[in-house]
Amino acid sequence: MDLSEAFAADSGPPPLDWARRAFEREYLVRILTLTAGNVTHAARLAGRNRTEFYRLLDRHSLAPSVFKPSKRDDARTALSAEPAAQR
């Protein structure tokens, strides 16, 4: 259940510590997606040092490698970037 689903539930809002952790995890996922898994860049955007950022990732069981583009994605991007006359 994500944060928006928790607030929509009939049982009332979730506890503050749960909401804070849910927000933190969603934030980390978004920033890692934005930076394609580049921890140095993500930490800089978040205003944290890399060591602290890695601790946050560990706390939420997030691996930066999951957010890195695969080799197949790189090849597909390179192919679509070629002018049509060269294909």
Q: What is the pLDDT of residues 21-78, one digit of tens each?
A: 999 999 999 999 999 999 999 999 999 999 999 999 999 999 999 999 887 665 555 4
Give the torsion through C-alpha atoms of 39, 43, 46, 51, to 10 deg.
120
CA angle at residue 71 from 78 to 40, to 5 degrees?
Answer: 100
Position 12 scores a pLDDT of 82
Mean per-residue pLDDT, 9-26: 89
Q: Which of 61 and 4 is assigned the larger pLDDT?
A: 61
